[in-house]
Structure formats: C-alpha cells, structure tokens
Chains A and B, each alone.
Chain A
C-alpha cells in the first residue's frame, strides 16, 4: 500500500483546472470583443464543482472503455457554454467587457487561493514527514 494522501490535492487540482479553463474562456471572449456576431462563452467553475456527484467535489470521469481506471483530475470536464443572450450592440456581439474584466480579477484571486492551499498542504506534509522537526 502506498502512502495514503487525502483528496485535498485532487479537489484543489480540479479548482486549478477550472480556473485555467475560465482564464482561457475570458481570453477568448476578450480577443473577440470586436468580432461581429460573436457570442461570449461562460463557465461556472464553482457551481460545477459543487454540483458534481462525486463525494470529493471532483467532476465525473469520462471513460470510453470499461478497462479505464484512475481518478485523475486532469480529465475533469468543465462545461463551457455559449451565452446566447441577445446582444445590446449593433454588430450582434454580446461580450460584456466590464463583466469579463471582473471575472478575470476574481479568477486570479480564486486561482491564488487554491494555489496557496496546495502549498500549505505540501508544507504540512513536509512537516509531518520530517517528524515535526521541519
């Protein structure tokens, strides 16, 4: 039996993956701020993590074969959907610049929070491994 690690890392890894997905989405929306007819993408990471059926807040795994195993947070799929709400601009583009900027700042804080948590967790493991001398 290997060293039993708890699920904190997996949950936090999911958070980081979700945060990265959101950063990509925001970058895509912002780069298309002047594309006529473009509809922005939206992703709600927190809601999807909270609503996931797994006990540890992990998104369900996508398995294409019954022989597939593993509980790798990298395979978690975040639902990224187009915002079909009508555009207020004449060119049919519905990117909300202010909303996206705020989402980006929030995303940065969220990413940093998850990352600090990971670092803290690693520090605690190190402390435990070093018999409390670290």
Chain B
C-alpha cells in the first residue's frame, strides 16, 4: 500500500464518474430519438458502479485492506416504459396517433450530472491531497 496506489484508486473514481457523465450526455442527446437499431425508441442507459477489491490477497502481505477503487460494472437499459406522446403527424406514430418517446426525464438526468460532477471533483481533491503527501515525502532527509 503506497501513496501511488491511493492515486490509482482516485483515478478509478475519475474514470467511473467520467463514464457516468458520458452516459448522461448520451441520454440527454437522445431524448427525442424514436428510431434505434434494435427497433423502438432509444432507452435510457444507467451506469452500475461496483467496488473493486484485490483478488488474491496474500496472507503475509502485511495488509488486510484490499480496496482498489471503483469500476463500472455494466451499463444497462432503464426498464421503464417509453413515454407515449400524441403526435399523429409523426412518421413513427402508431395507428392511434401516439409516438413512443424515450423514457428519459430531463430533471433526473440533470440531477445525475450534478452528482457525477461533484463526485468527480471530490476524487480530484483526494488525488491532489495524495500528490502533496507524496511530494512532501520526497523531502525526507533534505531538511
């Protein structure tokens, strides 16, 4: 366990939050998408985070802490039904005149994006603190 490993842990947090932010951007960009390769409207994507623990902990490694940060376990589609909007002139409207729009709530996405950006900032703060510790450690013996 070193200060550099603490930096790697913070980096894993940065990558995960960045990917989450990308998925949010993807969701907002596709808020009106009614056509997809799989057919039907675009479905909201959700990132699922998972804690990373060291796989093979050696008994005599002198450390009982196995935390190695976070990773994006999977990106899954939101199961909620599409929002039906009455728009008979739309080319994708069904016989009753309803169009299936993506199941995205803009307010939810904005709140998620704030959460992702704050968590990203928190990881940067930890990274900077770790860096200052590491740099300070390099001054051992110079004083």
Contacts and interface: CB of A to CB of B under 8 A. Distances in A.
Given A34-B20, A104-B126, A122-B141, A27 B50 contact: no
B29 interface: no
Given A31-B70, A32-B70, A21 B143 contact: no
Interface string B63-84: 1110111100000000000000
Contacts of A120: 143
A101 B125 contact: yes
Contact of B70 (A35, A43, A78): A35
Contact of B51 (A35, A62, A79, A116): A35
A112 interface: yes
B140 A111 contact: no
Contacts of B140: 115, 118-119, 122
B10 interface: yes
Interface residues of B, number: 46
A27 B52 CA distance: 12
A119 B140 CA distance: 6
A24 B119 contact: no
Interface class of chain A by DSSP: helix
Interface in A72-105: 74-80, 97, 101, 104-105
Contact of A41 (B13, B62, B67, B133): B67
A34 B53 CA distance: 16
Interface of B: 1-3, 5-7, 9-10, 12-13, 16-17, 20, 48-51, 59-60, 62-65, 67-70, 115-116, 119, 122-123, 125-127, 129-130, 132-133, 136-137, 139-143
